[in-house]
Amino acid sequence: MLAFLVGATAGAVFAVGWPLAAGLLVHLSSVLDGSDGEIARLKRLESGFGGYLDAVLDRFADSLMLLGVLVYLVESSSLRSVLGDSWYPLGVVVPTVAAIIGTLMVSYTSTKAMADLGHRYLGPVVGAGRGRDLRLLILSVAALLAVVHPLFLLGGVVVIAVLTLLVVARRLVWSRAATWVGRSIDLGSVQAVVFDFDGTVADTMGVLSDAAVALLTETYGMSAETAWQAYRETTGMDFAAQLERIAPGGRCNAELADRFADRKADLVRDCIPFPRTLDALARLRNLGVAVFICSSTTHEIVERFCADTGIDDLVDDVSGLRPEHTKLDQLQATVNGTGLRPDQVLFVGDSLYDVELANQTGTRFTGATGLFTAEEFARAGVTTIVDLPELAALVAAAHARRQLLERPAREPTGLSGRRLRGATVAHTAAGQTSDTAVQYVRMTTTSAPARGDRTTLDGPPLEDRR
């Protein structure tokens, strides 16, 4: 609340023509806004409504500050003499209004993406990092320079407008791509599969989430439900990155990350792979599909788990978190190392964060239900599987069908004939009954004769069975 009042005052001070004082107030508002959350966490007064109210007041403060800037610039005679009558006041009003709209839309797109599409924006451009802090810094510096000439303040407003609108435009493109990252996956073209570790290959999420919730409730006074939801929404990242999302700038974050890392080694050691995981990995290898594992868990822990369980004999490579080698870096390096096109690589993970990584690297993606339901993945446009054996069976059937369709056809080539032969191959490759194979082929092939039948993952299951 104090940060909002200072920001609103800054807007009023701009309007009365005191840019130096206004610039100092803008910077003070930014500092207070960053400390509000930290004080609430230390006093254990943090709440969901508090975060919501803080975000709403931030938007009001941003708008009031920029409106005050607009009043100051419109009334500046020295700026009018520089711009001339042909550009004044249009040259002031347009960039300032654009900055206000862009600032509001950056916040709006973040909220709507999470609510409607189930994903967060990442990276220095799309994610915008600490975007508000940067915008307020630009505005405060420009206001201080306005003492020299108001043109500096106008220049700062133009920079804010361009930055925010570019972020919004990039997010629209990114979200459009993300909602299609898992649709219509032609499994017959998949030549490599990269599996996430925790919650996809290793049944570790139960004990890890319990440990994380215990640390968050103990240190930051969160309720168990709030801590669980916060941990769940940020899974897929390493725990240090999760803490920065859950408690930005928290003084105890580094200590908590170290404590969690120490406990994680022992917790993972006592876990096992999901049922029939080794059979599924072996089946994929027998099909000639390259198999990899990447993780936000440290490389040593992942490597030891895979060695102890025999997984390392069934995969081409195992990667884990190392300094300057994040999960995104691992996935990108794996794609580059295969020499395949990104759309020939399938990434399988159990979190919405994994969807974002697939989109950034251009790989295909399918979600393993468990931590998130099929419906939650579907909102992000992602297909799902129940477990790894199901995926292996689908890939086997798809590869067999692709091989059949690529052979010179001497038998009748009508649509029903192609489907029947596909069902027979699916029966042989996937270990299904003939009736089941026929039903599977009917569900997963298209009927356009000119393009040929394809075996695809066209949508998530109707229910989460994991």
Q: Could you report the per-residue pLDDT of 267-316, keeping only the tens digit for each?
A: 999 999 999 999 999 999 999 999 999 999 999 999 999 999 999 999 99
**In this structure, are 167 and 288 located in the same domain?**
no
Amino acid letter, residue 353: Y
pLDDT-derived band at 463, boundaries 50, 70, 90: very low
pLDDT digits (tens, 9 = 90+) for 7-52: 999 999 999 999 999 999 999 999 888 776 666 655 556 666 777 8
Question: Which of 269, 304, 323 marks a domain boundary?
Answer: 269
pLDDT at residue 213, as a whole number: 95
**Residues 229 and 356 placed together within one structural domain of the fold:** no
Q: What is the tens place of the pLDDT at every residue in 103-144?
A: 999 989 988 887 777 666 765 556 655 688 899 999 999 999
DSSP state of 237: B
Which of the listed residues 231, 246, 269 is the one where a domain comes to its end? Answer: 269
Unique residue bearing structure tokens 């295909």 = 364
User: Does residue 57 sit in the same domain as residue 69?
Assistant: yes
If asked whether residues 329 and 254 sit together in one domain, one would say no
User: What's the CATH code of the domain at 54?
Assistant: 1.20.120.1760
SS3 290: strand
Lowest mean pLDDT among 57-61, 81-85, 192-196, 297-301: 81-85
Residues 333 and 397 in one domain: yes
3-state helix, strand, coil in the chain (%, to 5): 65, 10, 25
Number of domains the chain contains: 3
Task: Note whether 262 and 292 are same-domain residues.
Answer: no
Name the strands in the sheet holding 192-196, side by side, starting at the edge strand that comes first in the sequence.
317-318, 290-294, 192-196, 345-349, 364-368, 383-385
Alpha helices in 179-292 (DSSP H): 205-220, 224-233, 239-246, 253-269, 277-286
Half-sphere exposure of 34 (CA within 13 A, CB side): 17
Question: Is residue 262 located within the same domain as residue 278?
Answer: no
Quick one: 462 exposed, middle or buried, by C-beta within 10 A (0-12, 13-18, 19+)? exposed
Cα dihedral 400, 406, 408, 411 in deg (nearest 10): 50
Residue 193 token pair: 């599969």
Residues 334 and 316: beta-carbon distance below 8 Å: no
The number of beta carbons lying within 10 Å of the beta carbon of residue 360 is 18
Please give the pLDDT value at position 92: 93
Q: Is the pLDDT of residue 264 over 90?
A: yes
Residue pair 364/343 in contact by the 8 Å Cβ criterion = yes
Distances (CA, A) of 171 to 107, 121, 408: 11, 8, 46
Mean pLDDT for all residues in the chain: 83
Share of the chain above pLDDT 70, in %: 80
Quick one: 188 and 327 in the same domain?
A: yes
Distance between CA atoms of residues 56 and 52, nearest Å: 6
Residues near 248 by Cβ (< 8 Å), separated by ≥ 6?
37
Query: Are residue 215 and residue 115 in the same domain, yes or no?
Result: no
Nearest residue to 366 (alpha-carbon basis) of 155, 128, 140, 186: 186
Q: Which residues constitute the domain of residue 385? A: 184-204+274-466
Are 280 and 216 in contact by the 8 Å Cβ rule? The answer is no
Per-residue buried b or exposed e for 67-98, using 16+ beta carbons within 10 Å of the residue's own CB: bbbbbbbeebeebbeebeeeebbebbeebbeb
Same-domain check for residues 329 and 451? yes
Token representation of residue 367? 């979600």
**pLDDT grade for 77, boundaries at 50, 70 and 90:** confident
Domain C-terminal end among 178, 193, 217 = 178
- H helix or E strand, kind and range, residue 193: strand 192-196
**In whole angstroms, what is the distance from residue 122 CA to residue 103 CA?**
18
Residues 254 and 287 both lie in one domain: no
pLDDT tens profile 338-383: 999 998 999 999 998 998 899 889 899 999 999 999 988 887 778 8
- Give the phi and the psi of residue 318 in degrees, each rounded to 5: -125, 130
CATH code where residue 437 lies: 3.40.50.1000
Q: Is 453 in contact with 366 (CB distance < 8 Å)?
A: no
| 3-state secondary structure (DSSP) of residue 401 | helix
* pLDDT at residue 33, rounded to an integer: 83
d(CA 135, CA 236): 29
Look at residue 462 and tell me whether its pLDDT is greater than 50: no
Q: What pLDDT digit, counting tens, does each position of 317-332 carry?
A: 999 999 989 999 999 9
Say if strands 456-457 and 185-186 run parallel, antiparallel, or are unpaired: antiparallel
Claim to verify: residue 211 and residue 240 sit in the same structural domain? yes
